[in-house]
Structure 1
Amino acid sequence: MTGAIRNPLQWGVDGLGESVEAFGAANHSLRRPATECETTRPRVRRIGLGDLGIALRLGLDDFLAARTDVLFIGLIYPLAGLMLWAMTLHENMIPLLFPLTAGFALMGPFLALGLYELSRRREAGEIATWEAAMGAFATPSGGAILRLGLILTALFAAWLLTAMAIYASIYGWETPTSLRAFAEDVLGTRRGGELILYGCGAGFLFALAALSISVISFPLLLDRKLRVRTAVGASVRAVAKNPVPMLAWGALVAALLVLGSLPLLMGLILVLPILGHATWHLYRRVIV
């Protein structure tokens, strides 16, 4: 019966079933011939800084309209981040704490896929629940979405390797005795300053790469039947055509993620869903 209240177990079973169907559809689309994909290049529109504010406002509207389901999804992000922190500290891999936290944002465009689907469904007047968001992988471009997700995963791994290489070049293989001692060394010594300088420089390049290939490509793949290279090409052209707004968007996302990380990543429960919804509306303003 539509509108019936279901218990958490029933929710979980239904959600799991929809997830299996979604990944099955994505697996089928992995084998889809390229001739079934659209061949026309998406047209990129020029936008201004004001469009970023509009996208954020619409993203907030989506969040408020489906906040119960969105908060359920948003809870996943800080829990995953805290698990990474705990693993890093437990394994005495303190130098990886910041790279893991910063690099987590590189995966954001892929991890927010369900939020794009909620915004798309609300825009189309369809049911928008966390269970419906599971259908994001069942789109005709589900296979392309998975491929692009793997590309971001590889970029994330490359960032971690680079961060560790920078640390090793400055500190050798010296292991910090504690988080406090490491923080004091980084903030109060010359070699710590070098670590911050080179680490942030490399991190900026990785963030720019991730922004260029994924800022609108995931919503585009969700909305249209395209190949990965077509969607990535459109995203790169969007950044090239709108360098100031897109760099401002990247800076805004980074600033909000830092704020959302306090305290103990709990702010991400609100920040990430709003940014996810806003990204969908940014895509709508950029692609014709």
Structure 2
Amino acid sequence: MQPPETEMDSTGTASTAMASMDAVPETRPLTTADLRWALASGWADFKERRGDLLMLPFVYVMVGIVASALAFHAALFPVIFPLAAGFALVGPIAAAGFYELARRREAGLESGWSHFLDPLKGRPRGALLVLSGVLVLLFVGWMAAAQAIYASTLGTLGPATPEAFLGALFSTPQGLAMIVIGNAVGAGFAVVTLAIAAFSFPMVVDRPADPFVAMATSVAAFRRNPVVMLGWGLRVALILLAAALPLFVGLMVALPVLGYATWHLYTRAIAR
């Protein structure tokens, strides 16, 4: 591929980089076969760089354990489930290092753990901070929504203990309403996060890109492949759920595998 011609602006500054940041790249169609390929490639990357340094996934494991411990405090019990679910909203923040390792391995570059934090030390840092801020806002919005749903449904009964909370959750109209409304609202937050974050994070690691252009690109890829992307989101949710069941230990494998796999799906979905 020939390098793009460089145009000069009135100050004599090259505008090629600015154009590349402002233009939304072409998106490609995806199939379920691409999802299987991405997961297989993610697993291959994990076997190559399987986890001598898993600091960020380990932090997620510890947070999950602490969240479970909070369940013994009755006042905090209602927030445990939305808190655990909400971690999936900010998961892409922890995956940036895995995107970099997968990118370097794809390019035939040295991909040791010393490069894991490269995205936070180099060019992508500013864009990653903006994208992370957006996801944190979504997480805060979800927690506020979950608290409002609880207060207007099961909270009206004021269950005093974790046992009473669980009993009321499955045996009262208020509890069933909280389950239905909470799942519907949570699914909405998950879809929005999937649309804006699935490919924006790997894109800013891969190339000079404005974070808002990266989000627009991710949304464009989602709109072009809504069924496949929803299938990807479902796969990610099921993998995380299965990994969390054995005391969250499985997340130490699931998180890096999904990080690597998301990078590979990005290479199929977005023209580079």
Q: Deviations over 1:9-68 (max 9, x none)?
A: xxxxxxxxxxxxxxxxxxxxxxxxx94862332110111110000000000000000113
1:226 aligns with 2:209: yes
Aligned partner letter, 1:134: L
Q: C-alpha distance in 2, partners of 1:155/1:73?
A: 20
Cα shift at 1:155: 0.4
- Range moving further from structure 2, 71-80 or 164-173: 71-80
Q: Deviations over 1:108-165 (max 9, x none)?
A: 1112111111111211222323331111113323101101100100000000000000
Match of 1:146 among 123, 129, 133: 129
Q: C-alpha distance in 2, partners of 1:35/1:72?
A: 35
Q: Deviations over 1:185-218 (max 9, x none)?
A: 2122221111100000000000011001001100
Aligned pairs for 1:1-288 within 5 A: 35=18, 38-69=21-52, 71-87=54-70, 89-90=72-73, 92-172=75-155, 175-288=158-271
Q: C-alpha distance in 2, partners of 1:199/1:187?
A: 14
Q: Indicate the SS of the match to 2:123.
A: coil
User: In structure 2, do the counterparts of structure 1 residues 89 and 173 end up closer, same or farther at CA, with 3 Å as the change threshold?
Assistant: farther
Aligned length: 255
- Range moving further from structure 2, 121-130 or 245-254: 121-130
CA contact (8 A) 1:114 1:130 kept: no
Q: C-alpha distance in 2, partners of 1:46/1:57?
A: 19
Q: C-alpha distance in 2, partners of 1:192/1:176?
A: 11
User: In structure 2, do the counterparts of structure 1 residues 70 and 250 end up closer, same or farther at CA, with 3 Å as the change threshold?
Assistant: farther
Unaligned stretches of 5+ residues in structure 1: 1-33
Cα shift at 1:179: 2.3
Cα shift at 1:89: 4.2
Unaligned stretches of 5+ residues in structure 2: 1-16
- Range moving further from structure 2, 200-209 or 257-266: 257-266
* TM superposition score normalised by structure 2: 0.88
Q: Percent identity?
A: 40
Aligned partner letter, 1:275: L
Aligned partner letter, 1:249: W
Q: Deviations over 1:242-269 (max 9, x none)?
A: 0111000001111111111112211111
CA contact (8 A) 1:70 1:273 kept: no
Q: C-alpha distance in 2, partners of 1:280/1:221?
A: 11
